[in-house]
């Protein structure tokens, strides 16, 4: 990611109105993935490949629980991170990160807590690089409320919260629309994070906000964020191959809308994967339309849980290995978006295997071929 675009920025966000927000996944799905459309001002512009930053707030219920655990009413006066006066309720709602606990917060809490704090020795034992894994284990699945309840009395002055807790930060979402087709709006594809840990139901800060408190008409601060490392080829005739399982599909909806709007002649091949065809086939009708009008040349899907043995996007790449290599040889750009931890690595390995087979060359030579693609910006990733 490079610079933020134009007038509005992370520190000076645009207050946008939610225009569309619905669940795309079926009720039988294990996921809740939403399609979201937010209003833009005429001066705001983005390019397919960019992201939108959304600034969420903490839930009233969570704020109330923290106030209760700390023994405050919320009317206490504090100075925010910019030394601007506000009350504690506002600070806990819009400025302080009370979600997922960090090791830094635990260490800071242990430092400010009085000696009488229950379990203080344990908290102190989590400090330092040598105790990193023990501390990681403690913070996993916990939020600030757990720390405040399990070790009460640690905060003796509400201002200390600005030392203990981090700032409430925006979350980035790949833009799923092309402005050429959607003037005045920006679209995203968001999976709502929900889980249960340490006897409490939890939800992701921003995706939870979008999933529960962002009905149409609600306003949210947003900003556009340029990503010059994820761009369609300049030549409209260049073929593109896009691999986007799950919410990784988002920027490819933007790419395809852009190519459709331009009337570009280049071929487009999309690989999409999710758990089940019946409940998780994101934007299916749109792909059908794009196949029918020729925007999409090829669509390969991998529904991992529709059969006993998992099938992933890279399995579809393997099945189409010879054709995929032929596209690369004809100058195709190759894009991957979505899960960084496993999917992107597995897809890269499959791509390398496909190159080695296609060229009948060694793994080292295949790696060199991919390095050249990277240098030519023909291999681009947007993974998280
Ligand atoms: C460039 C970029 C583009 C992105 N594009 C998209 C996109 O298009 N769509 C999209 O949905 N997301 C996208 N993301 C991810 C997105 O920014 C957020 O990280 C995501 O929505 C979660 O944020 P949150 O505030 O809802 O959750 P947070 O409050 O940040 O909580 C998430 C954290 O909860 C913890 N957690 C989750 N599940 C469990 C569990 N079962 N047990 C214990 N702990 C758990 C994990 O530590 C996880 O990191 C993108 C990220 C980047 C950097
Ligand atoms: N930070 C956060 O909390 C947060 C929030 C939202 C999304 N995300 C991330 O966003 C990304 C997309 O999430 P998502 O739920 O939309 O989709 P996802 O988890 O990437 O799942 C999409 C499809 O990919 C499959 N898959 C799993 N492992 C794979 C692999 N190694 N190679 C190829 N495919 C694989 C899944 O199959 P199976 O599930 O059947 O194995 C599923 O069919 C992930 O990185 C996710 O962690 C993160």
For 218-266, how does the pLDDT look when each residue is reduced to its tens digit (9 = 90+)? Answer: 999 999 999 999 999 999 999 999 999 999 999 999 999 999 999 999 9
* Interval 20-54: pLDDT, tens: 999 999 999 999 999 999 999 999 999 999 999 99
pLDDT for 2 beyond 50: no
- Domain range for 125: 60-164
* Ligand 2 atom 14 nearest Cα: 246
Cβ atoms of 323 and 317 within 8 Å: the answer is no
pLDDT in the model for residue 6 = 63
Distance 193 CA to ligand 1 centre (A): 7
Residues 260, 372 within the same domain: yes
Q: What are phi and psi of 76, to 5 degrees?
A: -60, 140
Encoded tokens for 313: 């996007």
pLDDT tens digit string along 329-382?
A: 999 999 999 999 999 999 999 999 999 999 999 999 999 999 999 999 999 999
Give me ligand 2 centre to Cα 343, in Å.
7
Distances in whole angstroms, Cα of residue 104 to Cα of each of 100, 134, 205 = 12, 13, 19
Distance CA 322, CA 330 (A): 12
Same domain, 180 and 158: no
- Measure the CA dihedral 176/179/183/184, to 10°: 60
Q: Is the CB of 174 under 6 A from ligand 1?
A: yes
Supply φ then ψ for residue 70, to 5 degrees: -90, -10
Burial bucket for residue 350 (CB in 10 Å: 0-12, 13-18, 19+): buried
Residues 158 and 176 in one domain: no
Smallest CA-to-CA distance from 288 within 272, 275, 276 is with 272
Helix (H) or strand (E) holding 59: none
Whether 154 and 112 map to the same domain: the answer is yes
Residues 177, 33 share a domain? yes
Residue 19 resides in a domain? yes
On whether residue 307 sits in a domain, the answer given is: yes
Mutate to test the pocket of ligand 2, among 36, 191, 204, 206 (most ligand atoms within 8 A of CB): 191
Nearest ligand to the CA of 225 is 1
Domain membership of residue 334 (yes or no) is yes
Q: Are residues 253 and 355 in the same domain?
A: yes
Please indicate, yes or no, if residue 349 is contained in any of the structural domains: yes
Predicted pLDDT of residue 213 = 96
Taking the C-alpha atoms of residue 270 and residue 212, their distance in angstroms, rounded to an integer, is: 31
Domain with residue 259: its CATH number is: 3.40.50.80
Beta strands in 106-228 (DSSP E): 171-174, 185-191, 194-197, 200-203, 219-225
Q: Are residues 149 and 179 in the same domain?
A: no
Q: In Å, what is the CA distance from 212 to each residue of 1, 53, 58, 280, 339? A: 28, 18, 12, 20, 24
Q: Is the CB of 197 under 6 A from ligand 1?
A: yes
Q: Establish if 51 belongs to a structural domain.
A: no
Ligand nearest to the CA of 172: 1
State the DSSP code for 5.
P
Kindly state whether residue 132 falls inside one of the protein's structural domains. yes
Q: Are 89 and 63 in contact (CB under 8 A)?
A: yes
284 shares its domain with 179: no
Q: Are residues 256 and 329 in the same domain?
A: yes
Q: Is the CB of 198 under 6 A from ligand 1?
A: no
Give the residue carrying structure tokens 């964020």: 225
Distance in Å, CA 73 to ligand 2 centroid: 41
* Per-residue model confidence as pLDDT tens digits over 3-19: 454 689 999 999 999 99
Q: Residues in the chain, how many?
A: 384
Ligand 2 centroid–CA 245 distance in Å is 7
Q: Does 365 lie in the same domain as 273?
A: yes
Mutate to test the pocket of ligand 2, among 25, 339, 348 (most ligand atoms within 8 A of CB): 339
Q: How many domains does the chain have?
A: 3
Q: Is residue 55 part of a domain?
A: no
Do 258 and 356 share a domain, yes or no?
yes
Q: Is the CB of 141 under 6 A from ligand 1?
A: yes
pLDDT of residue 1: 41
pLDDT digits (tens, 9 = 90+) for 98-150: 999 999 999 999 999 999 999 999 999 999 999 999 999 999 999 999 999 99
User: Is 182 domain-assigned?
Assistant: yes
pLDDT of residue 80 exceeding 50, the answer is yes
Claim to verify: residue 252 and residue 351 sit in the same structural domain: yes
Q: How far does residue 274's CA lie from ligand 2's centre (Å)?
A: 8
**Residue 202, CA distances (Å) to 104, 142, 197, 208 in order:** 21, 9, 7, 9
């Amino acid at each position: 990611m490079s610079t933020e675009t134009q007038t509005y920025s992370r520190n000076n966000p645009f207050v946008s109105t939610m225009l569309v927000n619905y669940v795309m996944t079926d009720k039988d799905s294990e996921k809740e993935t939403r399609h979201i459309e937010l209003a833009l001002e005429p001066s705001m512009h983005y390019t397919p490949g960019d992201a939108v930053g959304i600034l969420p707030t903490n839930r009233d219920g969570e704020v109330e629980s923290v106030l209760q655990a700390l023994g405050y009413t919320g009317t206490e006066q504090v100075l925010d991170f910019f030394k601007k006066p506000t009350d504690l309720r506002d600070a806990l709602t819009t400025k302080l990160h009370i979600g997922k606990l960090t090791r830094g917060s635990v260490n800071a809490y242990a430092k400010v807590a009085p000696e009488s704090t229950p379990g203080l020795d344990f908290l102190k034992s989590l400090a330092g690089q040598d105790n990193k894994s023990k501390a990681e284990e403690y913070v996993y699945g916990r939020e600030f409320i757990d720390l405040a309840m399990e070790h009460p009395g640690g905060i003796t002055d509400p201002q200390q919260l600005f030392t203990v807790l981090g700032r409430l930060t925006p979350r980035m979402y790949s833009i799923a629309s092309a402005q050429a087709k959607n003037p005045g709006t920006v679209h995203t594809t968001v999976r709502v994070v929900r889980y249960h840990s340490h006897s409490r139901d939890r939800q992701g800060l921003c995706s939870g906000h979008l999933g529960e408190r962002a009905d149409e008409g609600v306003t949210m601060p947003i900003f556009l964020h340029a990503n010059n490392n994820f761009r369609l080829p300049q030549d409209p005739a260049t073929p593109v191959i896009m691999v986007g399982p799950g919410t990784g599909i988002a920027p490819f909806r933007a790419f395809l809308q852009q190519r459709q709007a331009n009337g570009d002649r280049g071929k487009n091949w999309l690989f999409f994967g999710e758990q089940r065809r019946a409940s998780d086939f994101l934007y299916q009708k749109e792909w059908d339309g794009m196949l029918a009008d020729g925007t999409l040349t090829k669509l390969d899907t991998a529904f991992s849980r529709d059969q006993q043995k998992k099938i992933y996007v890279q399995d579809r790449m393997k099945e189409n290995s010879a054709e995929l290599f032929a596209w690369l040889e004809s100058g195709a750009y190759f894009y991957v978006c979505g899960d960084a931890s496993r999917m992107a690595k597995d897809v890269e390995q499959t791509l390398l295997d496909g190159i080695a087979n296609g060229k009948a060359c060694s793994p080292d030579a295949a790696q060199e071929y991919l390095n050249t693609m990277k240098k030519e910006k023909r291999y681009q990733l947007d993974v998280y």
